[in-house]
């Protein structure tokens, strides 16, 4: 979040590729989140993920450990109905409030552990509004034949 903001509301969508060597369709899902700064050292989020057949809700917590003018990093964890994960988020400021970010994470896909390596771009549109574009590969059980590609886009508003 911008240093003066204490809340963020976001809505995003993702397309997930089929696995290699598997005849399966692309999957699509959405995500809604609300984040608030609970303390100077803690951000707390409510998260909902959904697709046409399911809904999952959960919570997340992030601790921003480093915050410089061009770099920020921390730790985060989240859990919900059907998932749990931990990540090391980091971001590099390009200019103004435009950032490139990543968050290597360990999570689960179904009952199997997964490694996810997201990279994204957060573009400051106006006042507290942002557009975010993200790509991430994920590997279930760290198997090459379980590789999926995730393409995401989101709108977020901070105040």
Per-residue pLDDT of the chain (159 residues; tens, 9 = 90+): 777 899 999 999 999 999 999 999 999 999 999 999 999 999 999 999 999 999 999 999 999 999 999 999 999 999 999 899 999 999 999 999 999 999 999 999 889 999 999 999 999 999 999 999 999 999 999 899 999 999 999 999 999
CA-to-CA distance for 9 and 34, rounded, in angstroms?
Answer: 5
How high is the pLDDT of residue 111? 93
Residues 8/77/27/17 CA torsion (nearest 10 deg):
110
CB neighbours (10 Å) of residue 37? 16
How high is the pLDDT of residue 48? 97
How high is the pLDDT of residue 2? 78
CA-to-CA distance for 154 and 12, rounded, in angstroms?
Answer: 4
Sign of the alpha-carbon dihedral angle for 65, 71, 77, 79: positive
3 state SS of 110: coil
Q: Does domain 7-158 have CATH number 3.40.190.10?
A: no
How high is the pLDDT of residue 4? 84
| Farthest CA pair distance, the chain | 48
How high is the pLDDT of residue 1? 76
């Amino acid at each position: 979040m911008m240093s003066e903001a204490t809340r963020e509301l976001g809505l995003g969508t993702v397309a997930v590729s089929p696995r290699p060597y598997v005849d399966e369709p692309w999957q699509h899902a959405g995500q809604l989140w609300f984040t608030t700064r609970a303390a100077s050292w803690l951000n707390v989020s409510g998260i909902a993920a959904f697709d046409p057949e399911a809904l999952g809700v959960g919570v997340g917590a992030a601790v921003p450990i480093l915050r410089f003018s061009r770099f920020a990093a921390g730790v985060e964890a989240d859990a919900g109905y059907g998932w749990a994960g931990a990540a090391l988020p980091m971001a590099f400021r390009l200019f103004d409030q435009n950032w490139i970010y990543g968050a290597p994470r360990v999570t689960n896909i179904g009952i199997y552990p997964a490694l996810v390596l997201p990279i994204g771009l957060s573009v400051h549109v106006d006042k507290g509004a942002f557009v975010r574009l993200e790509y991430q590969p994920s590997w279930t059980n760290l198997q090459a034949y379980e590789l999926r590609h995730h393409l995401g886009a989101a709108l977020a508003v901070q105040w």
